Chains A and B, each alone.
Chain A
Amino acid sequence: MLLLLAITALAIAWLRDLFAAVMLAGIYGLLSASFFVSVDAVDVAFTEAAVGAGIFPLLMLAALALVGRYEQTAYRHPLISLLLVSITGATLVLGTLDMPAFGSPDAPPHSHVAVRYIEESPKEIGIPNMVTSVLADYRSFDTLGEVAVIFTAAMGVLGLLFTGRAASPGSATERANMYDHRVLRVVSKMLIPLILLFALYVQFHGEYGPGGGFQAGVIFAAGIILYAMLFGFGNAQRVVRPALLQILAACGVLIYGSVGVVCLLSGGNFLDYSQLLPDPLAGRHLGILVIELGVGITVASSMILIFYAFASATVNPEEVA
Chain B
Amino acid sequence: MIALLLEGVSILCLGTGVFLLVSGGIGLLRFPEVFSRMHAAGVTETLAASLILLGLMILAGWGIVMFKLLLILLFILITSPTASHALAKAAVHGGLGADPGRNETS
Seen from chain A, the residues whose Cβ lies within 8 Å of a Cβ on chain B are 179, 181, 183-184, 187, 190-191, 194
Contact = CB atoms under 8 A, between A and B. Distances in A.
A191 B78 contact: yes
Interface string B69-106: 00000010011001001100000010000000000000
A179 to B, nearest CB: 8
A184 B87 CA distance: 11
Nearest to A183: B85
A183 B79 contact: no
B86 A190 contact: no
Contacts of A179: 93
Nearest to A195: B75
Contacts of A183: 82, 85-86
Contacts of B78: 187, 190-191
A183 B85 CA distance: 8
A190 B78 CA distance: 9
Contacts of B79: 187, 191
A190 B79 CA distance: 10
Contacts, number: 16
Interface of B: 75, 78-79, 82, 85-86, 93
A190 B86 CA distance: 16
Contacts of B85: 183-184
A194 B85 CA distance: 21
12 contacts: A179-B93, A183-B85, A184-B82, A184-B85, A184-B86, A187-B79, A187-B82, A190-B78, A191-B75, A191-B78, A191-B79, A194-B75
A61 to B, nearest CB: 14
A179 B85 CA distance: 14
A198 B85 CA distance: 25
Contacts of B75: 191, 194
Nearest to B90: A179
Nearest to A179: B93
A307 to B, nearest CB: 20
B92 to A, nearest CB: 12
Contacts of A191: 75, 78-79
A187 B83 CA distance: 10
Contacts of B82: 183-184, 187
Nearest to B86: A184
Nearest to B85: A183
A183 B90 CA distance: 13
Nearest to B93: A179
A181 B85 CA distance: 10
A187 B79 CA distance: 8
A181 B89 CA distance: 10
Nearest to A186: B82
Nearest to B82: A187
Contacts of A194: 75
B73 to A, nearest CB: 14
A218 B85 CA distance: 26
B80 to A, nearest CB: 11
A184 B78 CA distance: 10
A191 B86 CA distance: 16
A191 B79 CA distance: 9
A190 B75 CA distance: 10
A182 to B, nearest CB: 10
Given A179-B93, A183-B82, A184-B86, 10 more contacts: A181-B86, A183-B85, A183-B86, A184-B85, A187-B78, A187-B79, A190-B78, A191-B75, A191-B78, A191-B79
A187 B78 CA distance: 7
Contacts of A181: 86
Nearest to B78: A187
